[in-house]
Amino acid sequence: MSWDRATLALTLLAVDPTGLGGANIRARCGPVRDAFLEALGILPRPLVKLHPAMDDETLFGGIDLTQTLQSGKMHLRDGLLTGKGTTLLTMADRCEPDTAARLAMAMDDTRLPVLITLDEGADTDEGAPVALTERMAFHITLDLALKDVDLLPDPDRIDRAKRSLPLVATPAETLTTLVSLCLNLGIASQRAPLFALRAARANAALHQRRSLISDDIEVAAALTLAHRATRLPPVDEPEPPADEPPPPPSDAQEVGQLEDRVLDAVLANLPAGLLDQINGHGSVAKGTGAGTRHRGNRRGRPKPARGGRLTGRNRLDLIATLRAAAPWQKLRGAQPGRLRVLPSDFRIKQFEEQSDRLLIFTVDASGSAAMARLGEAKGAVELLLSDAYSRRDHVSLIAFRGETADLMLPPTRSLVQTKRRLAALPGGGGTPLAAGLIEAVKTAQTAKRQGMSPCIIVLTDGRANIALNGLPDRPAACRDSETVAAQIRTHNLDAIVLDLGNRPSRFLSDLSRKMGGLYMPVPRADARKMSGAVSAALAE
């Protein structure tokens, strides 16, 4: 996005802050982002900064335990969300879903009238939570150089626009045009056309116009709808032959012409890479970024309590708290029969954090893998799944053959379902090893976000001969496989490569080393031996 369009979005937000909700700013750390953050001074004051790790008491307020315990009467303290000014959420790409849900509720009940989310995941597929971006009109991407930074918004012009905003008239066909445009772009949100309408009114007020014109609608749609598009509009039918005279324009045709111009403005401002995502040609999902916490998906055994303060996400260990406070009662001058507890006595319950393990079997079902070897691989998967109930493991199955890889079995612990899918697994065709590894990375990343601990287990003879473009090219197929293997190491994913060939393959040995995984040649091994080898490797 150019600097002019970014500052225009910020200016429109300053004209109608409550109606437009806020903006998501996606940018890397640097002078360009600093210059734009400086321009936030035109938004309503005060500017309150939030961190995604803040607890509910800090955000929304609550009981002041220190004052309450010392005075014996309940004392409340205010949170940071006061319903006034602008709120800046830093590191929004690391905001947990429960925190995002609470902030979304605060936006709905006006305790958070204007929200700016600072998305620092410019190099990853992670971003600010959808619950928040859905409630903000603008998405601003600062992918430009410092030399492109020009003028900042004019506060005096914004003040004049605020006074003119209530006087702007809205033509009846405007909302119809915007709703139709959202349908063509696959935008299901009911907030989207309303944001576009408010942005158009703000743009008209900025230019001191008393009624909307097509330029206002085009600018507003480009700023509020382009980043929400999920599909390209359908192709128009061919025009009638030139020898037939065109019918006289009607009101409906004029609305259609306006919609076409607005649509062209939106398509001209689609974010980079969005067309590839819409057409299904996106790249491999990237990592969650440095500093992302990996949390378990279930609670384990209790651990000794530790000192800390109460938040909305932890629990007080009452017995441990009383034990910590008891030795200090004489020094605190406690009255007989009463116990004086201070916040320093609080002890918080702790539990071991555990994660279910997901075994992602990536099976070579190509013609080069003999049918007997494929049968043994199926048997090994069944044997490993039969032990998953005691270990609470999950199993997923990916098969690659021909030109593509397919997720045959999503993560499950169902032995019956696994046997059914394995029995239907065909064999034959080329060996698209890189495609199989890409599908395994996608499955592992999804499982990791759900709190699971994935492990990729590749069963192949190593004769990769189908490149990612679907063409039979053995050197390109090997290079593609090595590239994806390096991504597996970058994402810190556990991996095991089972070499099913009659003799150990140097290519697979090097591939497992690039993955940072374990290489295990298992020539002439049956299903039970393969299962035992994997179980032994997982137990290390």
Q: Which of these ranges, 34-48, 204-218, 283-297, has the smallest mean pLDDT? A: 283-297
- Top-confidence residue, 177 or 241: 177
* pLDDT band at residue 147 using 50, 70 and 90 as cut-offs: low
Coil vs helix vs strand at 169: strand
Predicted confidence at residue 115, as pLDDT, reads 92
* pLDDT band at residue 281 using 50, 70 and 90 as cut-offs: very low
- Top-confidence residue, 526 or 476: 476
Please provide residue 235's backbone torsions phi and psi, each rounded to the nearest 5 degrees: -70, 135
Would the CATH topology of 3-153 be identical to that of 166-232+253-279? Answer: no
Q: What is the distance between the alpha carbons of residues 248 and 468, in angstroms, rounded to a whole number?
A: 53
Predicted confidence at residue 426, as pLDDT, reads 66
Predicted confidence at residue 280, as pLDDT, reads 43
Round the average pLDDT of the chain to a whole number and report it.
79
Q: Which of 94-108, 143-157, 346-360 has the highest mean pLDDT?
A: 94-108
Question: 166-232+253-279 sits in which CATH class?
Answer: mainly alpha
Q: Which of these ranges, 13-22, 116-125, 161-170, has the smallest mean pLDDT? A: 116-125
Question: 3-153 sits in which CATH class?
Answer: alpha beta
Q: What is the distance between the alpha carbons of residues 250 and 173, in angstroms, rounded to a whole number?
A: 13
Q: What is the distance between the alpha carbons of residues 403 and 442, in angstroms, rounded to a whole number?
A: 18
| Domain spans, the chain | 3-153, 166-232+253-279, 299-354, 357-539
- Crossing angle of the two packed helices 3-15 and 155-164, in degrees rounded to 10: 50
- Crossing angle of the two packed helices 3-15 and 214-224, in degrees rounded to 10: 100
- List, for residues 299-323, the tens digit of each pLDDT value: 556 778 888 877 766 788 888 888 8
* pLDDT band at residue 145 using 50, 70 and 90 as cut-offs: low
pTM score, whole prediction: 0.56
Q: What is the distance between the alpha carbons of residues 92 and 95, in angstroms, rounded to a whole number?
A: 5
Predicted confidence at residue 340, as pLDDT, reads 84
Average pLDDT over residues 505-528: 80
Predicted confidence at residue 284, as pLDDT, reads 38
- List, for residues 8-44, the tens digit of each pLDDT value: 999 999 999 999 999 999 888 888 888 888 888 889 8
Examine the pLDDT at 292 and tell me if it is beyond 60.
Answer: no
- List, for residues 358-388, the tens digit of each pLDDT value: 888 888 877 655 455 566 666 766 776 666 5
Burial 256-267 (b: 16+ CB within 10 A, else e): eebbeebbebbe
- List, for residues 247-265, the tens digit of each pLDDT value: 555 555 555 566 666 766 6
Predicted confidence at residue 35, as pLDDT, reads 84
Contact call for residues 193 and 180 (beta carbons, < 8 A): no
Predicted confidence at residue 365, as pLDDT, reads 79
Examine the pLDDT at 290 and tell me if it is beyond 80.
Answer: no
* pLDDT band at residue 400 using 50, 70 and 90 as cut-offs: confident
The fraction of the chain above a pLDDT of 70, given in percent, is: 72
Predicted confidence at residue 63, as pLDDT, reads 80
- Top-confidence residue, 345 or 378: 345
**Residues 357-539, CATH architecture:** 3-Layer(aba) Sandwich (3.40)
* pLDDT band at residue 205 using 50, 70 and 90 as cut-offs: very high
Predicted confidence at residue 200, as pLDDT, reads 94
Q: Which of 210-219, 344-353, 449-458 has the highest mean pLDDT?
A: 210-219
Place of tokens 């902030």: 103
Predicted confidence at residue 247, as pLDDT, reads 55
Q: Which of these ranges, 206-215, 272-281, 309-318, has the smallest mean pLDDT? A: 272-281
Examine the pLDDT at 206 and tell me if it is beyond 80.
Answer: yes
**Within 13 A of 140's CA, how many CA atoms are on the CB side?**
30
Examine the pLDDT at 133 and tell me if it is beyond 80.
Answer: yes
Contact call for residues 189 and 134 (beta carbons, < 8 A): yes
- List, for residues 70-115, the tens digit of each pLDDT value: 777 888 888 888 778 899 998 888 888 888 998 999 898 878 889 9
